[in-house]
Amino acid sequence: MLMSSTVKQTQQLSPNHGLFSLRGALLTLAILTLLSFTFLSLKYSTPSPQVPITKFSFSFFFQLKKIEKKINFWVSKISVAKLVDPEVKEHNDEEEGGEELSDIYHSPRVFKLNYAEMMEKFKVYIYPDGDPKTFYQTPRKLTGKYASEGYFFQNIRESRFRTLDPDQAHLFFIPISCHKMRGKGTSYDNMTIIVQNYVEGLIAKYPYWNRTLGADHFFVTCHDVGVRATEGLPFLIKNTIRAVCSPSYDVGFIPHKDVALPQVLQPFALPAGGNDIENRTNLGFWAGHRNSKIRVILARVWENDTELDISNNRISRATGHLVYQKRFYKTKFCICPGGSQVNSARIADSIHYGCIPVILSNYYDLPFNDIVDWRKFAVVLKESDVYQLKQILKNISHAEFVSLHNNLVKIQKHFQWNTPPISYDAFHMVMYDLWLRHYTIKY
DSSP 162: B
Instruction: Measure the N-to-C terminal CA separation of the chain; round to a whole number of Å.
Output: 45
Query: Which amino acid, 233?
Result: L
Q: Is the pTM higher than 0.85?
A: no
Q: Give how far the C-alpha of residue 271 lies from the chain's centroid of Cα atoms, to the nearest Å.
A: 24
Q: Report yes or no: 282 and 335 within 8 Å, Cβ to Cβ.
A: no
Q: Output the furthest CA–CA distance in the chain (Å, rounded).
A: 103
E-strand spans in 234-355? 241-244, 259-260, 282-287, 308-311, 331-337
- How far is residue 414 from each of residues 30, 189, 353, measured CA to CA in Å? 48, 35, 14
CATH class of 277-415: alpha beta
How far is 342 from 166, CA to CA, in rounded Å? 36
Q: Please, what is the Cα angle at 111 between 108 and 115, to 5 degrees?
A: 145
Q: How far is CA 95 from the centre of its chain?
A: 17
What is the C-alpha to C-alpha distance for residues 230 and 224, in angstroms, rounded to an integer?
A: 10
DSSP H helices, 159-278, are 178-183, 188-205, 208-212, 224-230, 234-239
Name, in order, each residue with C-beta under 8 angstroms of 68's C-beta and a sequence gap of 6 or more. Answer: 27, 30
pLDDT at 417: 93
Model confidence pLDDT, tens digit, residues 35-55:
554 444 444 444 444 444 444
Amino acid at 111: F
**Low-confidence residues of the chain: pLDDT under 50:** 1-20, 37-62, 64-65, 69, 71-99, 443
Determine if residue 67 is left, alpha or beta; phi over 0 gives left, psi from -120 to 50 gives alpha, anything else beta.
Answer: alpha
* Length of the chain in terms of residues written: 443
Could you tell me which of 21, 25, 26 has the C-alpha nearest to residue 9? 21
Q: What is the DSSP string of 78-145?
A: HHTT----HHHHHHHHHH--HHHHHTTBSSHHHHHHHHHHHHHH--EEEP--S-TTTTBSS-S-S-BT
Residues 324 and 316: their CA atoms lie apart, in Å, by 9
At 245 the pLDDT is 82
Give residue-wise pLDDT tens across range 312-361.
776 765 566 788 889 999 999 999 998 777 777 889 999 999 999 999 98
Contact between 252 and 259 (Cβ < 8 Å)? no
Q: What is the pLDDT of residue 224?
A: 66
Cβ atoms 298, 386 nearer than 8 A? yes
Query: Does residue 421 have a cis bond before it (omega within 30 degrees)?
Result: no
pLDDT recorded at residue 17: 45
CA distance 403 to 202: 49
Domain ranges of the chain: 108-265+422-440, 277-415
pLDDT for the residue numbered 24: 58
382 HSE (CA, 13 A, CB side)? 2
